[in-house]
Structure 1
Amino acid sequence: MAQIRDLMTSNIETLGPDATAQEAATAMRRADTGSIPVVEGNRVVGLITDRDIAIRAVAEGRGPDCSIRDLMSADPVCAYESDDVESIAQRMAEAQVRRLPVVDQNEQLIGMISLGDLSREGKEQAASEALQGVSADTNALLDA
């Protein structure tokens, strides 16, 4: 059974909580990603997403110099490097997220895992199940 450490992306951008929204957006563009782990030391304290910047910053009239500490999702759900694909897919579905920070047994950030990582590695069933969970509330809204 494949473990997350075999599928995750290990060379990732990180930011500290005092980085600005503009710095986060620039880092996302550079890394071609929609989310970046926020770390203090090497411990994950949050996750900043392009949606956080759009919804929590721009929509609220905050400027590009606002701290991501005020925008990030604190204490994000994480994956452990030894987790299997199916448990991570389930965790993504339950948390309704497309990406998870990956930590080691000491809670140190070592990478990120995404639905794309799961599907690229031939784990389409697990990725599909996670996507169904991520999309569940959206589908309910569309049906209403």
Structure 2
Amino acid sequence: MPHVSDIMTRDVRFIAPREKLQRAAQMMSELDVGALPVCDGNRLVGMVTDRDIIVRGTAAGHAPAEACVADVMTERVCWCFEDEPLDEVMRQMADSQVRRIPVVTRGEERRLVGIVALGDIAQRDGEAGGQEGSAADSAGEVLRQVSDPSRPAH
């Protein structure tokens, strides 16, 4: 099984926590993405999604031109190291019900170096010829688990 660094997207754009929600939305539109890593310098400190902007921002009465990304971002995010085996990362994605995961360097700095998404996993399989038991099968399983409705914790 390959490592995350073999398939991750390397040229990842991110946003700073003090940037305005409006700028985050503009970046998402320009990049055609629904989530951005939030970094202080190159250090990963959170993630912000289009849903965060709407539900935690606009719906809560925050003006997008005035509120900061830090006001709505998720601080405790799943992430992985660039040298982790892909199967472990897919398991983490399924367990956490996320479709994409930031990739960071080892050490306290946790410098953002990439992002890996279910699409990256599926695309890798397409290039490998779609063999049974392949990454696409695994990507499909992860997608199925990610898409299962969450159950309330009691």
TM-score over 0.5 for the pair: yes
Give the equivalent residue in structure 2 for 1:127. 139
Choose the corresponding residue for 1:118, options 96, 118, 121: 121
Counterpart amino acid of residue 118 in structure 2: L
Q: CA RMSD in A?
A: 1.5
Consecutive unaligned residues of structure 2, counting only runs of 5 or more, are 126-134
Give the equivalent residue in structure 2 for 1:137. 149
Offset, 1:51 = 1.1
Counterpart amino acid of residue 72 in structure 2: L
Q: Give the whole-Å Cα distance in 1 for the aligned partners of 2:141 and 2:54.
A: 27
Kindly report structure 1 stretches of 4+ aligned residues shifted beyond 2 Å.
Answer: none
Q: Give the whole-Å Cα distance in 2 for the aligned partners of 1:43 and 1:23.
A: 19
Give the equivalent residue in structure 2 for 1:16. 16
Map Cα deviations across residues 95-120 of structure 1 (whole Å, 9 max, x no partner).
11111100112321101111111111
Question: How many positions carry a matched residue from both structures?
Answer: 140
The percent of aligned pairs where both chains have the same amino acid is: 35
Output the TM-score relative to the length of structure 1. Answer: 0.91
Give the equivalent residue in structure 1 for 2:38. 38
Give the alignment of 1:1-144 within 5 angstroms. 1-64=1-64, 65-106=66-107, 107-122=110-125, 123-137=135-149
Bigger Cα Rg: 2
Q: Give the whole-Å Cα distance in 1 for the aligned partners of 2:6 and 2:57.
A: 35
Q: Give the whole-Å Cα distance in 2 for the aligned partners of 1:30 and 1:60.
A: 25
Q: Give the whole-Å Cα distance in 2 for the aligned partners of 1:24 and 1:126.
A: 32
* Range with greater deviation from structure 2 (53-62 or 110-119): 53-62
Offset, 1:14 = 0.8
Q: Give the whole-Å Cα distance in 1 for the aligned partners of 2:10 and 2:61.
A: 34
Structure (1 or 2) with the greater helix fraction: 1
Q: Give the whole-Å Cα distance in 2 for the aligned partners of 1:78 and 1:4.
A: 11
Offset, 1:83 = 1.3
Counterpart amino acid of residue 3 in structure 1: H
**1:44/1:75 contact within 8 Å kept:** no
Map Cα deviations across residues 11-55 of structure 1 (whole Å, 9 max, x no partner).
111111001110001111111111111011211100011111121
